[in-house]
């Protein structure tokens, strides 16, 4: 239920700056990414993460696609929730940029952390799907 509401809100906001079909697809991809990170769904993550991914964390740690998958699988990093999101979208042809303020709960090496972040993500359209190619978080 929570993700349905989030999807609806993302689509409403995204419709202002992206073409309607793009806004629906990017919003759905973002929600799927959250669910896959929380659920450690390797199949979905492999679909959503670009092979040339740069995944930057607010502490300066940068991962590539394989490292994201490996660290989730090993339990080094566990995503627990994403809350209170404020989003803005921009479209540049086959690329979309999302900037968001978000509260994230994670566990790093089993230690729980609650972070307030400003996250910038760049998504790229490949064929009929959107893939995350760049993510950078900064502490608020």
| Per-residue pLDDT reduced to its tens digit, 81-117 | 999 888 888 888 899 999 999 999 999 999 999 999 9
What span, in angstroms and rounded, lies between the C-alpha atoms of 34 and 129? Answer: 16
The confidence score (pLDDT) of residue 3 equals 52
| Domains of the chain, CATH where assigned | 2-139 (3.10.450.50)
Concatenate the DSSP letters of all residues of 14-83 into one string.
Answer: HTTTS-HHHHHHHHHHHHHHHHHHHHT-HHHHHHHEEEEEEEE-TTS-EE-HHHHHHHHHHTSEEEEEEE
What span, in angstroms and rounded, lies between the C-alpha atoms of 17 and 83? Answer: 23
Instruction: Tell me which residue has tokens 């930057």.
Output: 56
SS3 13: helix
pLDDT digits (tens, 9 = 90+) for 30-64: 999 999 999 999 999 999 999 999 999 999 999 99
Q: How confident is the model at residue 120 (pLDDT cuts 50, 70, 90)?
A: very high
* Strands 62-63 vs 77-92: parallel, antiparallel or unpaired: unpaired
The confidence score (pLDDT) of residue 18 equals 46
pLDDT digits (tens, 9 = 90+) for 124-134: 999 889 999 99
Whole-model pTM: value is 0.84
SS3 128: coil
What span, in angstroms and rounded, lies between the C-alpha atoms of 140 and 138? Answer: 6
The confidence score (pLDDT) of residue 97 equals 94
The confidence score (pLDDT) of residue 7 equals 53
Cα–Cα distances (Å) from 112 to 28, 79, 137, in that order, read: 27, 10, 18
| Predicted confidence (pLDDT) at residue 4 exceeds the cutoff of 70 | no
Cα–Cα distances (Å) from 5 to 59, 136, 137, in that order, read: 30, 25, 24
| Predicted confidence (pLDDT) at residue 2 exceeds the cutoff of 80 | no
């Amino acid at each position: 239920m929570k993700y349905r509401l989030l999807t609806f809100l993302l689509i409403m906001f995204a419709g202002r700056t992206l073409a309607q079909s793009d806004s629906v697809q990017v919003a759905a991809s973002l929600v799927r990414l959250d669910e896959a990170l929380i659920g450690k769904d390797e199949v979905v993550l492999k679909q959503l993460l670009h092979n040339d991914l740069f995944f930057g964390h607010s502490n300066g740690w940068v991962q590539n696609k394989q490292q994201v998958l490996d660290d989730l699988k090993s339990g080094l990093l566990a995503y627990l929730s994403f809350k209170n999101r404020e989003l803005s979208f921009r479209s540049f042809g086959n690329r979309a940029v999302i900037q968001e303020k978000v509260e994230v709960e994670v566990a790093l090496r089993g230690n729980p952390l609650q972070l307030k972040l400003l996250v910038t993500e760049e998504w790229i359209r490949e064929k009929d799907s959107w893939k995350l190619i760049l993510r950078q978080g900064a502490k608020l």
